[in-house]
Amino acid sequence: MAGDLAESLAAFSDTVPSETRRGAETLGFLDGLIGDQLTAEGSPLAPDISVRVDGAAVPITPDGLATAFPAASGHLTVFVHGLMGSEYTWSLGGRPTYGSRLADDLGSTEVLVRYNTGRHISDNGRDLARLLTELTLLWPVPVTGLTLIGHSMGGLVIRSACHQAVAEDAFWPELVRHTVYLGTPHLGAPLARGVHRASAALRLWRTTRPIATLLGRRSAGVRDLFRGAVIDEHWRDTDPEAFWQPAVDYPPLMQGVRHLYVTATVTRRPDHPFGRIVGDGLVMTSSGGGRSRKQHLGFELDDGFHVGGVGHMALLNNDAVYEWMLPQLTPRRALPPGRG
- CATH number for 131: 3.40.50.1820
In a domain, 42, yes or no: no
pTM of the model: 0.87
Q: Are residues 181 and 197 in the same domain?
A: no
Distance between CA 217 and CA 289 in Å, rounded?
29
Residues 255 and 319 grouped into a single domain: yes
Q: Binning pLDDT at 50, 70 and 90, where does residue 197 land? A: very low
Asked if 136 and 168 sit in the same domain, the reply is yes
Average pLDDT for residues 55-60, to the nearest whole number? 97
Q: Which domain holds residue 218?
A: 190-234
In this structure, the answer to whether residues 202 and 77 fall within a common structural domain is: no
Residue 200 has pLDDT above 80, yes or no: no
Instruction: Report the pLDDT value the prediction gives residue 13, as an integer from 0 to 100.
Output: 44
Q: Is the pLDDT at 213 greater than 60, yes or no?
A: no
- Give a yes or no: residue 11 inside a domain: no
- Do residues 212 and 266 both lie within one domain? no
Q: What is the largest distance, in Å, between two alpha-carbon atoms of the chain?
A: 74
* Residue 242 confidence (pLDDT): 53
pLDDT for 14 equals 52
Least confident of 39-53, 137-151, 223-237: 223-237
Asked if residue 197 is part of any domain, the answer here is: yes
Mean pLDDT lowest among 43-57, 89-103, 268-282? 268-282
My answer on whether 194 and 286 are in the same domain is no
Residue 145 shares a structural domain with residue 61: yes
Q: In total, how many domains does the chain have?
A: 2
In a domain, 208, yes or no: yes
Which range of 12-21, 116-125, 243-252 scores highest in mean pLDDT? It is 116-125
Residues 80 and 214 in one domain: no
Identify whether 216 is part of a domain. Answer: yes
Residues 221 and 325 in one domain: no
Q: Are residues 179 and 267 in the same domain?
A: yes
